[in-house]
Amino acid sequence: MTAHDLFDHISTGARHLLDVLSYTVVLGVLVQLIPPIAGTLSIIWLCLQMFAYFRRKAWLTDEERNSSK
């Protein structure tokens, strides 16, 4: 008996129930994974913004030094 034979003997109602259960599990996994991923991406974005700010500030300081000469 193969897995294909097993699924052939399951009624349509049971298949729909298994589909709903499967979708519920997938949704649950996504809900648990999205907040840590979003938090990590937010931290990375904030670090990039800080890096760009300090780099721009240093660049403007160099430009001001060169313009006063």
C-alpha radius of gyration, the chain, whole number: 28
pLDDT at 20: 85
Q: What's the CA gap between 12 and 10, in Å, rounded?
A: 7
Query: How much is the pTM?
Result: 0.49
Task: Count other Cβ atoms within 10 Å, centred on residue 24.
Answer: 10
DSSP per residue over 25-58, as a string? HHHHHHHHHHHHHHHHHHHHHHHHHHHHHHHHHH
List the domain range (segments joined by +) for residue 44. 14-67
Please indicate, yes or no, if residue 8 is contained in any of the structural domains: no
User: Structural domain tally of the chain?
Assistant: 1
Please indicate, yes or no, if residue 5 is contained in any of the structural domains: no
Q: Per residue of the chain (69 residues), what is the pLDDT tens digit? A: 565 566 677 788 888 888 888 888 788 777 887 788 888 888 899 898 889 888 887 777 666 667 755
Please indicate, yes or no, if residue 2 is contained in any of the structural domains: no
Token pair in block for residue 17: 């129930």
Please indicate, yes or no, if residue 3 is contained in any of the structural domains: no
